[in-house]
C-alpha cells in the first residue's frame, strides 16, 4: 500500500504528534491503554519519526503521551455510559483529527460522526476511510450547519478532546447552547485547563499564530459551567485520576505525582453537560 506523504510544517503534520502519542502510550502502558489503529496509521505515513522516537525515551514526553491517553479513556467512559441508555445514539467527535474514539466505542448500533476542517477530513479519508454507520463531516465547528448532518433521533453524545483550548468561552457557550437546542437530552463532553494551564501552553498557542491566547477558554471553577445552559446538569472530573487509577506497572511514582498536580493545580478537567430533554 502506498504511503501518504506528510510535509513538514503542513496542517497534516499537526495530526502526527497526538497520533504518535497514542501509539507510544499503547506500547509503554499496555495494561492501561490500547490503540491498534494509531500504530497502523503511523505505518502508512511517509514521515520522519526519528525526532519523535528520540524524545519518546524521556520521562516527561512519556507523561505527555499518558496525558493524551487518559483523556481519551475518559471520553470513552462518558460515551459508553451514554450509549448504555441510548444504544442507537449519534457519537460525534468534534475536531476529530485522526482519532478513532468513535470506533473504539462502537456498540454495533450507534452512528459515528467525525467533524473537522476540510483539509483534516481529506487526510482522514485517505488514511482511514469512513466505515459502516460512520460519516466524516468537513466543517468549521463554529459554523453550526454541520449539525444538520447529524441524526440525533436516537440520542447524541458530542465530545471534543484537546479542542476547546483554542476557542473562546463565548464560542464554546454558543456551541453548547446550540447543541442543547437542536439535540434535547444529548450529552456534551470536553476537556479544559485553568489559568496556569493556559500560561504553560503559551508556546503552543503562539505556534498556531494565536497571540490573543489570553482570550481562550479556561475553567477555574467548574461550578460556573452550570450557568451556561439553563436546565442542564453540569459536572467535572480531573482527567488524569478522575476516572481511572492509572493501573499499569509502567506508571511511575513521578507520573502519579505529576498527574495529581495536573488535576489539582493546572486544573485539567473533563467537563460534562447533560442537556434537558
pLDDT digits (tens, 9 = 90+) for 132-153: 999 999 999 999 999 999 999 9
Q: Which of the four pLDDT bands, split at 50, 70 and 90, describes residue 202?
A: low
Q: Could you read off the pLDDT of 64-77 as tens digits, one per residue?
A: 888 888 999 999 99
Q: How far apart are the two ends of the chain, measured CA to CA in Å?
A: 47
What pLDDT shows up at residue 212?
Answer: 65
What pLDDT shows up at residue 70?
Answer: 92
Cα-trace Rg, the chain: 18
Distances 144 to 172, 176, 181 between C-alpha atoms, Å: 12, 11, 12
Percent of the chain, pLDDT > 90?
57
What pLDDT shows up at residue 105?
Answer: 97
What pLDDT shows up at residue 166?
Answer: 84
What gap in Å lies between CA 80 and CA 65, rounded to an integer? 23
Q: For residue 161, which of 191, 134, 141, 135 has the smallest C-alpha distance?
A: 191
| Alpha-carbon dihedral angle through residues 132, 10, 64, 56, given to the nearest 10 degrees | 100
Enumerate the β-bridge partners of residue 216.
168
Choice between 202 and 269, residue whose per-residue pLDDT is larger = 269
What pLDDT shows up at residue 60?
Answer: 83
The domain tally of the chain equals 1
What CATH number should be reported for the domain holding residue 156?
3.40.50.150
What pLDDT shows up at residue 159?
Answer: 98
pTM assigned to the model: 0.93
Q: For residue 56, which of 46, 66, 45 has the smallest C-alpha distance?
A: 66
Does 11 have pLDDT greater than 80? no
What pLDDT shows up at residue 1?
Answer: 64
Lookup: cell for 22: 497514542
What gap in Å lies between CA 267 and CA 225, rounded to an integer? 14
Q: Which of the four pLDDT bands, split at 50, 70 and 90, describes residue 260?
A: very high
Q: Which of the four pLDDT bands, split at 50, 70 and 90, describes residue 210?
A: low
Query: Range of 151's domain?
Result: 4-274
What gap in Å lies between CA 62 and CA 66, rounded to an integer? 6
- Which letter does DSSP use for residue 108 in this model? S
Q: Which of the four pLDDT bands, split at 50, 70 and 90, describes residue 7?
A: confident
Q: Could you read off the pLDDT of 173-190 as tens digits, one per residue?
A: 999 999 999 999 999 999
What pLDDT shows up at residue 146?
Answer: 98
**What mean pLDDT, rounded, does the chain reach?**
90
What pLDDT shows up at residue 118?
Answer: 94
Q: Could you read off the pLDDT of 86-132 as tens digits, one per residue?
A: 999 999 999 999 999 999 999 999 999 999 999 899 989 988 899 89
Does 14 have pLDDT greater than 90? no
Amino acid at each position: 500500500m502506498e504511503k501518504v506523504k506528510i510535509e513538514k510544517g503542513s496542517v497534516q503534520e499537526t495530526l502526527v504528534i497526538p497520533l504518535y502519542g497514542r501509539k507510544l502510550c499503547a506500547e509503554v502502558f499496555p495494561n492501561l491503554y490500547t490503540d491498534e489503529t494509531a500504530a497502523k496509521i503511523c505505518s502508512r505515513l511517509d514521515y520522519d519519526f526519528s525526532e519523535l522516537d528520540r524524545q519518546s525515551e524521556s520521562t516527561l514526553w512519556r507523561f505527555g503521551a499518558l496525558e493524551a491517553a487518559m483523556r481519551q479513556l475518559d471520553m470513552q467512559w462518558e460515551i459508553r455510559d451514554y450509549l448504555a441508555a441510548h444504544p442507537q445514539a449519534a457519537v460525534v467527535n468534534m475536531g476529530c483529527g485522526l482519532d478513532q474514539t468513535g470506533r473504539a466505542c462502537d456498540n454495533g448500533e450507534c452512528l459515528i460522526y467525525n467533524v473537522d476542517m476540510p483539509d483534516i477530513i481529506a487526510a482522514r479519508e485517505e488514511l482511514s476511510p469512513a466505515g459502516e454507520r460512520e460519516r466524516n463531516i468537513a466543517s468549521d465547528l463554529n459554523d453550526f450547519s454541520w449539525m444538520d448532518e447529524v441524526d440525533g433521533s436516537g440520542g447524541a453524545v458530542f465530545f471534543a478532546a484537546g479542542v476547546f483550548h483554542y476557542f473562546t468561552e463565548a464560542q464554546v457557550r454558543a456551541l453548547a447552547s446550540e447543541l442543547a437546542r437542536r439535540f434535547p437530552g444529548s450529552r456534551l463532553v470536553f476537556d479544559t485547563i485553568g489559568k496556569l494551564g493556559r500560561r504553560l501552553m503559551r508556546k503552543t498557542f503562539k505556534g498556531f499564530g494565536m497571540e490573543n491566547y489570553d482570550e481562550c477558554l479556561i475553567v477555574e471553577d467548574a461550578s460556573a459551567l452550570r450557568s451556561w445552559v439553563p436546565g442542564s446538569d453540569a459536572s467535572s472530573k480531573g482527567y488524569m485520576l478522575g476516572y481511572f487509577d492509572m493501573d499499569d506497572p509502567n506508571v511511575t511514582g513521578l507520573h502519579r505525582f505529576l498527574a495529581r498536580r495536573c488535576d489539582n493545580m493546572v486544573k485539567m478537567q473533563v467537563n460534562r453537560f447533560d442537556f434537558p430533554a
